[in-house]
Amino acid sequence: MHNKPVALVTGANKGIGLQIAKDLAQQGFAVLVGSRRFEAGESVVHSVGPDARTIPLDVTDETSIAKAEKRIRETYGRLDVLVNNAGVGHGGDPTRSNAQIMAETRLSVVDLDELRTVFATNVFGVVAVTQAMLPLLREAPAAKIINISSATGSLTLNSDPSNPVRQYTSTYTASKSALNAITQALAIELEGTRIKVHAVCPGLTATDMSEYGGSVEEAAREPVRVALLGSDSGTGTFSNAQGALPW
């Protein structure tokens, strides 16, 4: 088991993260199913594969991150792929209607506590997990960091007045723009090392986060394709299933 490459997927107890975990297991990885709720991870881990394990991991909790890093170091001694998938769509009252969420997460009105909550997971969580896992990623012969982002965070696409999606810019899309900036900065910092850093948009997908969209199977395809690219494939890319996306 320890000869297999090792992948950690954060927020993998459901949705797109769970499907990415399944697909990586299919591709021969020992997969760590990150879940802030251990029981939720345990309830799905058997569906991921025989070499999958649940790893308790709340990306907003430094102690939880440190414990996860320790477990991975003691069991595997390295990490080949880190998929920063855990994310939240909003950070306020979960019983609000979609229309209310859309109205209340506009940057002109959003409550700063809600803004902080969304950034805590979608941005600071990614940086904290990545920083903690870097020593383990450095132990892998060729490592990947895949940040699950969104085309709605593309500043270039949002600058185009003919892009209909730009009307949905919000707290969430700003968090993905920040995630893109972090992806690019990390890719530049790690140039010349064995660690490649990528942002991937899974596309609009029907999950607990979004009422509408395609299947999780379709959504997982691009992140998994990028995770499997050879070590000579470059770094600092942003893509979806249709190809390269502009930052």
Does 56 help bind ligand NDP (rule: CB under 6 A)?
A: no
Strand blocks (E) in 29-171: 30-35, 53-56, 81-84, 143-148
Instruction: Using CB under 6 A, pick the residue from 5, 7, 9, 13 that binds ligand NDP.
Output: 13
Look up residue 67 and give its amino acid: K
CA distance 112 to 128: 21
Stretch of 25-33, 180-188, 208-216, 231-239 lying at the interface with ligand NDP (CB under 6 A) = 208-216
Q: What does the angle CA 13 – CA 19 – CA 23 come to, to the nearest 5 degrees?
A: 125
Our answer to whether residue 14 is catalytic in this structure is: no
Asked if 20 contacts 83 with a C-beta cutoff of 8 angstroms, the reply is yes
Count Cα neighbours of 241 within 13 Å in the Cβ-side half-sphere. 12
Residue 160 host element (H or E)? none
Is 58 a binding residue for ligand NDP by CB under 6 A? The answer is yes
Among 54, 170, 207, 239, binds ligand NDP (CB under 6 A): 207
211 binds ligand NDP (CB under 6 A): no
> Can you read off the two tokens belonging to residue 208?
């607990």
CA atoms of 47 and 72, how far apart (whole Å): 21
Residue 212 is among the residues annotated as catalytic for this protein: no
CA distances from 196 to 1, 13, 137, 140, 239 (A): 24, 25, 10, 12, 14
Does residue 205 touch ligand NDP according to CB under 6 A? yes
Site for ligand NDP in 118-157 (CB under 6 A): 121, 125, 148, 150
40 contacts ligand NDP (rule: CB under 6 A):
yes
**Residue window 172-191: x/- pattern of binding to ligand NDP, with contact defined by CB under 6 A:** --------------------
**Residue placing its CB nearer to ligand NDP in the complex, 154 or 207:** 207
201 binds ligand NDP (CB under 6 A): yes
The residues annotated with a catalytic role in the active site are 172, 176
Question: Which residues form the interface with ligand NDP (CB under 6 A)?
Answer: 10-11, 13-17, 36-37, 40, 57-60, 85-88, 121, 125, 148, 150, 201-202, 204-205, 207-210, 213
